[in-house]
């Protein structure tokens, strides 16, 4: 039995996992992945679960590495200043 040239070749879990770095490789993000890998991902529960886990880990890592655009401490500090001003205005004669 020979696979038709139109359908992606069938690969094993081991072969799929060898290509995992391609799925997560930096500059290749957004680039279409190998149809054989995608086909395996669509049909193999083990590997799709694995990819889900790895994506989750990669997302968490990105959150840790990326500096927050907004510094939450600024908001906290200005809230404290506002409260201090209110307290000062209420308690002390100016
Ligand atoms: Zn698999």
**How far is Cα 57 from Cα 94, in angstroms, rounded to an integer?**
55
Helices H / strands E in the chain, number of each: 5, 0
Going from the Cα of 5 to the center of ligand 1, the distance in angstroms, rounded, reads 21
Name the DSSP class of 2.
-
**How far is Cα 47 from Cα 44, in angstroms, rounded to an integer?**
6
pLDDT tens digits for range 12-21: 999 999 988 8
Distances (CA, A) of 20 to 25, 38, 50, 86: 8, 11, 10, 57
Ion ligand 1: residues, CB < 5 A: 13, 44, 46-47
**How far is Cα 7 from Cα 16, in angstroms, rounded to an integer?**
16
Going from the Cα of 4 to the center of ligand 1, the distance in angstroms, rounded, reads 21
Going from the Cα of 91 to the center of ligand 1, the distance in angstroms, rounded, reads 69
Tokens of 7: 């359908």
pLDDT tens digits for range 35-83: 899 899 999 999 999 999 988 888 888 888 877 666 666 777 788 788 8
Going from the Cα of 42 to the center of ligand 1, the distance in angstroms, rounded, reads 9
């Amino acid at each position: 039995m020979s696979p038709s040239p139109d359908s992606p070749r069938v690969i094993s879990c081991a072969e799929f996992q060898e290509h995992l770095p391609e799925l997560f490789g930096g500059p290749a993000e957004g680039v279409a992945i190998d149809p054989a890998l995608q086909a395996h991902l669509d049909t193999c529960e083990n590997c799709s679960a694995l990819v889900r886990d790895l994506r989750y880990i990669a997302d968490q890592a990105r959150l840790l590495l990326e500096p927050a655009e907004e510094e939450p401490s600024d908001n906290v500090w200005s809230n404290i200043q506002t409260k201090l001003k209110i307290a000062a205005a209420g308690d002390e004669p100016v």
